[in-house]
């Protein structure tokens, strides 16, 4: 684990709790923070629930689960995160929100603390520029769901130094992850390829080429994808898909990255996918039903 022994995670949602989960399982002491104590409690309960399922499937033994949960503590105040060796921001995919977090954290950071963002699309260089340590700032883009997905994208900002990069790679590998280096361009590697594919599937629906069921069935059976692109969009969150498309469109000024109007409408309606109960599928019944 090198020089990193304690981890601070800012954001107790699906991504933040997933990062806390895998860090705790691998022996790190984790402080989990969110804007309210209730969210932290829900995050820790989500971790507990996921670990119980792992025990039930034989992927973890009870003693290891108990030890991992003992490694996680609630940090009700943001300043507590400043005492950790590595602070990972895993808040909503909004640049202003992320910058505000780093600015608020700055006065409480110890000299040794490394900073990382789990952003899936936003410039690491820009985020780092709002801190007092851009050379000790890096992108650690975990995939969702974090306990299952094996990849972590490592993104260096223009000022990130070699030692920070080495520590970040070693940390990711200590979690059992495989790393892929990505340059600091909009959406990096995975989302640069994945999200426009999802957007094109939404255009295919919007233009009436196929129904939700037809599009997802075609890609699962015709391209051997484990999930159809519209099902995957609901899993990721349609607000996240739209945010990444906007980052690509604004950052690269290429019309091929224009978000589909139907995607915009769904987000405006609050139909964000699984997390809101409706997206391209309606999840409020016993089984998901296409909404178009």
Catalytic residue among 120, 121, 123, 199: 120
Retrieve residue 71's tokens. 């490694």
If one counts every other C-beta atom within 10 angstroms of the C-beta of residue 56, the result is 9
DSSP string of 186-223, one letter each residue: TTTTHHHHHHHHHHHHHHHHHTTSS-HHHHHHHHHHHS
187 sits in the region (left: phi over 0; alpha: psi -120 to 50; else beta) called left
Instruction: Let me know if 135 is a catalytic residue.
Output: no
Backbone angles phi, psi at 54, to 5 degrees: -65, -40
Instruction: Let me know if 120 is a catalytic residue.
Output: yes
What gap in Å lies between CA 68 and CA 47, rounded to an integer?
10
| Angle ∠(225,260,291) on CA atoms, nearest 5 | 65
For helices 261-268 and 238-252, the axis angle rounded to 10 degrees is 130
| C-beta separation of 1 from 174 below 8 A | yes
Cis amide leading into 224 (omega within 30): no
Place of tokens 């690509």: 248
Instruction: Let me know if 243 is a catalytic residue.
Output: no
Catalytic residue among 89, 93, 153, 231: 153
Instruction: Let me know if 170 is a catalytic residue.
Output: no
Q: Where are the alpha helices (DSSP H) in 26-141?
A: 37-56, 62-70, 95-105, 124-128
Catalytic residue among 141, 199, 231, 243: 141
How would you class 129 by CB atoms within 10 Å of its CB: exposed for 0-12, middle for 13-18, buried for 19 or more? middle
| C-beta separation of 145 from 172 below 8 A | no
Distances 250 to 91, 104, 117, 200, 256 between C-alpha atoms, Å: 21, 27, 20, 18, 11
Catalytic residue among 118, 191, 199, 243: 191
* Catalytically annotated residues: 120, 141, 153, 191
């Amino acid at each position: 684990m090198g020089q990193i022994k304690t981890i601070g995670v800012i954001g107790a949602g699906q991504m933040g709790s997933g990062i806390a989960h895998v860090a705790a399982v691998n022996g790190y002491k984790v402080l989990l923070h969110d804007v309210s104590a209730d969210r932290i409690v829900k995050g820790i309960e989500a971790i507990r629930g996921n670990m119980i399922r792992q025990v039930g499937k034989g992927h973890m033994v009870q003693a290891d689960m108990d030890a991992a949960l003992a490694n996680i503590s609630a940090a009700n105040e943001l300043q507590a995160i400043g005492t950790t060796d590595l602070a990972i921001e895993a808040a909503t995919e909004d640049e202003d929100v992320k910058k505000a977090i780093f600015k608020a954290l700055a006065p409480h950071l110890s000299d040794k603390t490394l900073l990382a963002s789990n952003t899936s699309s936003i410039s690491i260089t820009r985020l780092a520029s709002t801190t007092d340590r851009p050379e000790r700032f890096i992108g650690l883009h975990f995939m969702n769901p974090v306990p299952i997905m094996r990849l972590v994208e490592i993104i260096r900002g223009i000022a990130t130094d070699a030692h920070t990069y080495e520590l970040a790679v070693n940390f990711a590998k200590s979690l059992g992850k495989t790393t892929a280096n990505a340059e600091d361009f909009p959406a990096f590697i995975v989302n640069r390829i994945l999200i426009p594919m999802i957007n094109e599937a939404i255009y295919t629906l919007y233009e009436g080429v196929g129904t939700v069921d037809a599009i997802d069935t075609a890609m699962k059976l015709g391209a051997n994808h484990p999930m159809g692109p519209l099902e995957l969009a609901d899993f990721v969150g349609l607000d996240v898909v739209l945010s990444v498309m906007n980052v690509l469109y604004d950052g690269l000024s290429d019309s091929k990255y224009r978000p589909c109007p139907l995607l915009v409408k769904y987000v405006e309606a609050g139909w964000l996918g699984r997390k809101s109960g409706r997206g391209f599928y309606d999840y409020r019944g016993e089984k998901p039903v296409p909404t178009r």
